[in-house]
């Protein structure tokens, strides 16, 4: 495996962990992980890259080795962190962004908010979450207040081997070797709950449990679409043929097409033999797409 190195970025409210791969003089590429993931899970893709890249991959606040805040998180905070990261590593010029799931959503939003800063972007299964309706607001606020009263906890596993088995159970395309590697980075020692709801000490997911708390406000698709229409750079959508995300879109005819139409310059590619976690399932295919698109 190609070695990575760690750096920290101290912001006013949080300390972020930044993982780096490659030659600092090579072309710069930002890799942005998804929800309940960590930067280290891009290792499989990095190992398949054929060119030299200067890779910057943050752990978002409250994930992995970045600071956990032990309080509710708000999506816009990640946008602020992304801008700080880009300003730190690319203070001038345009950047290349490749993000998975939540990381892809953030990349697309940032490219519309700061269209002059992004040269090209790839979103791996990050096309925005399911739409909401105003009538959902009362229940959402009830859930929010419930989380404040009883903070969320992570499920606890006996050991990392049990955690790896959990990964294999939920992703039929994941290999045991990759699951074992991920169990070293996606899990940590901490307090959680067993199936009976009893508090236990053991292996838990490597993300602040507060990320599981529902936001008090609803996702407004119309706002995201307005931002996407400001994106000036070429955009590539990448999806897995077996992805639950794609199956979810299939339940809302026309939704996929309406979102795609917001981008002025967009193309899409599909990866066979992959579910939502494309970079875990088919890292060689993801690496080829990255290098073909970014040139």
The CATH code of domain 5-131+219-294 reads 3.40.50.1820
Is residue 198 over pLDDT 80? no
- What is the rounded distance in angstroms from the CA atom of residue 276 to the CA atom of residue 34? 11
The structure's pTM equals 0.96
Lowest mean pLDDT among 117-121, 193-197, 255-259: 193-197
Lowest mean pLDDT among 47-56, 200-209, 266-275: 200-209
**Of 122, 124, 128, the residue nearest 236 (C-alpha):** 122
**Of 193, 206, 203, 208, the residue nearest 157 (C-alpha):** 203
| 5: its two tokens | 């190195």
Is residue 196 over pLDDT 80? no
> For the residues 158-163, what does the mean pLDDT come to?
96
pLDDT in tens, 29-51: 999 999 999 999 999 999 999 99
Residues 136 and 242 sit within 8 Å (Cβ to Cβ): no
Task: Report the percent of the chain where pLDDT is more than 70.
Answer: 100
Q: Looking at residue 238, what is its pLDDT?
A: 98
- pLDDT tier at 194 (50, 70, 90 boundaries)? confident
Is residue 195 over pLDDT 90? no
Helices (H), the chain: 43-48, 75-89, 102-113, 137-149, 160-170, 176-185, 221-228, 244-250, 255-260, 278-281, 283-294
pLDDT in tens, 58-97: 999 999 999 999 999 999 999 999 999 999 999 999 999 9
- pLDDT tier at 113 (50, 70, 90 boundaries)? very high
Domain spans, the chain: 5-131+219-294, 136-212
> For the residues 132-157, what does the mean pLDDT come to?
96
3 state SS of 29: strand
Q: Looking at residue 2, what is its pLDDT?
A: 95
Residues 6+ apart with CB under 8 A from 143: 214
- pLDDT tier at 161 (50, 70, 90 boundaries)? very high
């Amino acid at each position: 495996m190609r070695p990575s190195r760690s750096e920290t970025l101290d912001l006013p409210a949080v300390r972020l962990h930044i993982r780096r791969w490659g030659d600092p003089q090579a072309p710069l590429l930002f890799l942005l992980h998804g929800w309940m993931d960590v930067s280290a899970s891009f290792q499989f893709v990095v190992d398949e890259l054929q060119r030299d890249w200067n890779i910057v991959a943050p752990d978002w606040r409250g994930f992995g080795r970045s600071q956990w805040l032990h309080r509710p998180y708000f999506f816009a905070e990640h946008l602020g962190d992304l801008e700080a990261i880009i300003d730190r590593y690319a203070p001038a010029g345009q950047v290349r962004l490749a993000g998975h799931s939540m990381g892809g959503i953030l990349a697309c939003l940032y490219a519309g908010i700061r269209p002059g800063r992004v040269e090209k972007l790839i979103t791996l299964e990050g096309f925005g979450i399911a739409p909401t309706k105003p009538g959902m607001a009362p229940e959402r606020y009830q859930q929010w207040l419930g989380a404040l009263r009883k903070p969320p906890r992570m499920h606890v596993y006996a050991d990392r081997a049990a955690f790896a088995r959990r990964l294999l159970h939920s992703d039929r395309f994941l290999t045991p070797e990759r699951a074992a590697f991920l169990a070293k980075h996606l899990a940590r020692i901490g307090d959680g709950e067993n199936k009976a709801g009893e508090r236990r000490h053991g292996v838990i997911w490597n993300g602040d449990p507060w990320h599981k708390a529902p936001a008090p406000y609803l996702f407004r698709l119309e706002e995201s679409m307005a931002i996407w229409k400001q994106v000036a750079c070429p955009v590539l959508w990448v999806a897995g043929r077996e992805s639950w995300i794609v199956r979810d879109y299939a339940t809302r005819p026309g939704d996929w097409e309406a979102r795609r139409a917001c981008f002025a310059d967009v193309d899409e590619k599909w990866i066979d033999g992959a579910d939502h976690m494309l970079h875990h399932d088919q890292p060689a295919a993801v690496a080829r797409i990255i290098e073909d698109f970014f040139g």
